[in-house]
Amino acid sequence: MHTSDTAPQEHTPRHVTLTRLLAVGSLMGLIVLGLVWELWLAPIRTGGTLLALKVLPLCIPLTGLLKNRMYTYRWVSLLVWLYFTEGVVRAWGDRAPSNYFAMLEVFLCVVLFVACALHVRLRLQHAKRHDMTDTATDALAASSNS
């Protein structure tokens, strides 16, 4: 029987990678949208407003998502509801074109939430399956050594 000193290369399922890309993409989309919306496309006052600073809290989790940290995915799925609420209020109360940007913000928030929730769920399922496989392999190796 051939044994290797290196651990087998771990492959993450395609769905986990897809949800990660969706989460990072929608978060970056929210950051860009917030800046462009409040500074150039439809600012509340001409020349831009300090409301563009609302994107700063979104920059904090970006590194955690890029480093694939599970905890970040969990708390981003809670943070996103603040931006969702702002988008709904402004979609209802603002005039065009600002309300269109607010609808886009709502859409990006929903995509981000779903991507984060699915990512956490799929990673936990993958880890559980991987642990079960390791346990079965260890049990088989222990019984063959006896």
The alpha carbons of the chain give a radius of gyration, in whole angstroms, of 21
Classify residue 9: in a domain, yes or no: no
- Is the per-residue pLDDT at 26 higher than 60? yes
For residue 76, being part of any structural domain is answered with: yes
Q: What pLDDT, on a 0 to 100 scale, did the predictor assign at position 3? A: 41
Sign of CA dihedral 75, 80, 86, 92: negative
> Which one has a higher pLDDT value, 87 or 42?
87
pTM (two decimals): 0.82
**Is residue 33 assigned to a domain?**
yes
Q: Tell whether 4 is covered by a domain.
A: no
Is pLDDT of 86 > 90?
A: yes
**Token pair belonging to 55:** 């994107």
* Residue 58 CB contacts under 8 Å (≥ 6 apart), including other chains: 27, 30, 31, 34, 79, 83
Domain presence at residue 115: yes
Cis upstream peptide for 8 (omega within 30°): no
**Domains: count for the chain:** 1
Q: Are 102 and 90 in contact (CB under 8 A)?
A: yes
